[in-house]
Structure 1
């Protein structure tokens, strides 16, 4: 066994699990708890961005991020049951990390906007803000006054916030499924590895 995941990566991982779960479960129920959990998510994502640049070997983005070609090739190997074992994140897992960071950042940002109605005015004017959702509000601007439009804009951002939160939940489900599959295929408990930080030493066919 060798050490792969450093303590900060593990604290980030499980802290993010707890913070997102708390934020999702307290939505529209416990506003203060929901907001605190949202700030925790934002802080953890910000930390991971920094740690991905200056952290330990397997925490760094440069070590595990691959291009679209490598990711698609890995997914193709998965469908044929011949994907290689990676000591760190495999290409599919790396892509999932990027997707989760994007949706979590968007969820946290839209939640921050909704916490104070004056913050929506900070966004650039125009339908480019959230095209598919806000554009209808702009189209009706001639029929509604400024205050009505602001309320419609708030509703649009709230809808986007919910869409991003639900998309994050879907990605989490896919991530858990991928972890379970990799654990079975490579005969390795990846959940335990993220707790202890240790994984089986790489074999001759593994990618370290």
Structure 2
């Protein structure tokens, strides 16, 4: 903790660069769908490479908040958190809360599926395959909804717990827990 600011480091540089790079690559691929060419494909391949790197980092990161083992919830822990959330009594989490962790896992998996199906559509075996194309497009559509929910949940969390989640994903710091803040 930095005593003068009452902030604690949470998101390491790798996680923050990964996050914003994935946002940029997904957005670029989405915007450049009219003429599916080098930019669209390149952004998709970049997203896959970023996710592969994040998966490795999720197991070897020195920062506990970056490791999957520290934030992927059990079904019981997720249900308990959702029950508390429904009653407006959810606790603040320094790292990902259980619902946020599930969203992160979904976004990683869905973006991987989008990238893999996009790649498959460039191969001789799946060129023009309607099932693969439908899976690709439908997963993009569902992921856009999930992204909107993700942004809304971060806005809610920012207001509810008075901790700017968007700023934290830029600076890597969040407010220290109340019991550890200087008085």
TM-score (norm 2): 0.90
Match of 2:170 in 1: 195
**1:68 Cα shift?**
1.3
Unaligned runs of 5+ in 1: 121-149
**1:29 Cα shift?**
2.6
| Structure 2 counterpart SS, 1:115 | coil
1:162 aligns with 2:137: yes
Match of 2:3 in 1: none
- Counterparts of 1:204 and 1:63, CA distance in 2: 21
Instruction: String of CA shifts for 1:92-125, please: whole Å, max 9, x gaps.
Output: 100001111111111000000012223x3xxxxx
Equivalenced residue count is: 173
Larger radius of gyration: 1
Q: Work out which of the residue numbers 104, 112, 117 in structure 2 matches 1:105.
A: 112
Match of 2:42 in 1: 36
| Structure 1 counterpart SS, 2:162 | coil
Unaligned runs of 5+ in 2: 1-6
Q: Where has structure 1 moved over 4 Å in runs of 4 or more?
A: none
Match of 1:10 in 2: 16
Match of 2:66 in 1: 59
- Counterparts of 1:95 and 1:8, CA distance in 2: 20
1:45 aligns with 2:51: yes
Match of 2:152 in 1: 177
1:96 aligns with 2:103: yes
**1:41 Cα shift?**
0.6
| Structure 2 counterpart SS, 1:13 | helix
- Counterparts of 1:75 and 1:183, CA distance in 2: 17
| Structure 2 counterpart SS, 1:199 | strand
- Counterparts of 1:28 and 1:53, CA distance in 2: 37
| Structure 2 counterpart SS, 1:89 | coil
Computed over aligned residues only, the root mean square deviation of the Cα atoms, in angstroms, reads 1.5
Match of 1:125 in 2: none
